[in-house]
Each structure stands twice: as C-alpha cells, then as structure tokens.
Amino acid sequence: MTLAAASHGFLTPSGVEIAFVLVGIVTFGAALITVTTRQLVHAALWLVVALGGIAVEYLLLTAEFIAWVQVLIYVGSVVVLLLFGLMLTKAPIGRSPDADSGNRRAALAVAVASAAALVWVVVDAFRATWITLGGAAQGSTEASGRTLFQYWVLPFEALSVLLLAALVGAIVLSRRNPEAPPAAPAPGAATARAPREEQR
C-alpha cells in the first residue's frame, strides 16, 4: 500500500473515489439490512439494492460489461427466482415470527472470517496496482473477453462443467420416480416410499 500512497496519496481523493466510498457504504448498509430484517420479502428487496450497489461500483471502476452482467444475472434473475420461491412458499406481509435463526453467532463468525480472508487476499494481490480511471476504459467488453479467454480459460471451462453438473443434478432430483404408480398407490407402498423420496 505504501507504493500507491506515495505516488497518488489518499488525502486528496478524486470525485470518483468519493462516490466509490459512498456507494460502498450504501451497499454495505443494504446488505446489513438484508440479513437483519424480520420481513422476508423486504430482505429480498434490500438484496436488490445491495447487488445494484455492487453493479454501480463496477461501473465506477470502468468495468461496464461486468456491471451489466451483474444486473442481468443477479437483479434480473436470481432475485426474481428468490421472490418466486418466497411467494410460492411463505411470504407474509409484515414480520415473520420464524425469520430468526439460532445460528446467528456462528453465522456472524463465518461471515467476518470469510470477509477478512477475502479482503486480505485482495489487498495482498493488488498491493500496489493502480487503475487510472481517466482515459480508455480498462474493463471494456473487449478487454474482459481477452483476459477471460486468454489467461483464464481453464477456470472458465471448469466452472461451466461444474454448472452443468449442478444442472443435471437438479433434473435428477426433481424427476419423479419412474416406477411409481401415477395415481392412488396402495397406502402401504406410499408410506414405504415417502422416507426414501425425502432422502433423495
């Protein structure tokens, strides 16, 4: 960090840097509300704010492509899926009495530990690297594509295999047992099968 501080200085921040910090604070606040609110659907909506805030941070770092993909995947699809699941199961208006967990302390410890690990890794990796925000965008679609398919092809492909495995797994889990009789099975058979399907 000393190198960066020597060449650029932390005491005279530019407008973009100030905006970055402010958006970061908003994002952090929204994330905190997401995990602490007692209203389930509000938690999902605050998650939209937090994920959108991260997209704005990407934009401020000139990574336009990543920012729009963030909005498309997380806000447009993951949160919609989340809301769909909530509305399909249990989404009362007002507080949910059971929206509390006995694992709060353990969850907090895990969150703090993983945040510390991530911050340490990022600070250690990009110790003295400095992005010049003026001039040509360094996170343009072309730049991202080149980096991804030249230097990071193997992790990219490994990830796609992982996702494929997850997809196949989801199909296997959601398929009904083909040998099961379609309607009104004998009561004995139904009770015998129930625990097995629970396990799958």
Partner 1 sequence: MSDVLDIVVRLLAIFVAFLVFPLVIGQTEHKVMAHMQGRLGPMYAGGFHGWAQLVADGVKFAQKEDIVPAGADRRVFQLAPAVALLPYLLVLAAIPLGPHTVGRDLDAGIFFVLAVMGVGVLGSIMAGWASANKFSLLGGLRTAAQLLAYELPMLLAAASVAMAAGTLSLPGILEGFHWWWVPWQIVGGVVFFVAGLAELQRPPFDMPVADSEIIFGAYTEYTGLRFALFLLAEYAGIVVLCALTSVLFLGGWHGPFGAAGLGWLWMVLKTVVLAFVVIWLRVTYPRLREDQLQKLAWTALIPLALAQIALTGVIKVVIS
Q: In this structure, what token pair is assigned to residue 95?
A: 């507080």
- Kindly state the smallest distance separating residue 27's Cβ from partner 1, in Å: 17
Closest to partner 1 by CB, 103 or 147: 147
Q: CA–CA separation, 88 vs 99, rounded Å? A: 17
CB atoms within 10 A of CB 100: 10
- Kindly state the smallest distance separating residue 96's Cβ from partner 1, in Å: 13
Cα–Cα nearest to 20, from 148, 108, 109, 131: 131
Binding region for partner 1 (CB under 8 A):
41-42, 45, 48, 64-65, 68-69, 71-72, 75-77, 79-81, 83-84, 87-88, 91, 93-94, 137, 140-141
Closest to partner 1 by CB, 153 or 192: 153
Residues 6+ apart with CB under 8 A from 193: 177, 180, 185
Closest to partner 1 by CB, 84 or 152: 84
- Kindly state the smallest distance separating residue 8's Cβ from partner 1, in Å: 26
Closest to partner 1 by CB, 35 or 45: 45
Distances (CA, A) of 5 to 16, 22, 122: 17, 20, 17
Distances (CA, A) of 137 to 43, 114, 177, 182: 34, 31, 53, 59
Q: CA–CA separation, 28 vs 49, rounded Å? A: 10
Closest to partner 1 by CB, 93 or 186: 93
Residue bearing tokens 């796609």:
160
Q: Are 49 and 30 in contact (CB under 8 A)?
A: yes
- Kindly state the smallest distance separating residue 48's Cβ from partner 1, in Å: 7
- Kindly state the smallest distance separating residue 70's Cβ from partner 1, in Å: 8
- Kindly state the smallest distance separating residue 63's Cβ from partner 1, in Å: 10
Closest to partner 1 by CB, 31 or 70: 70
3-state SS assignment for residue 132: coil
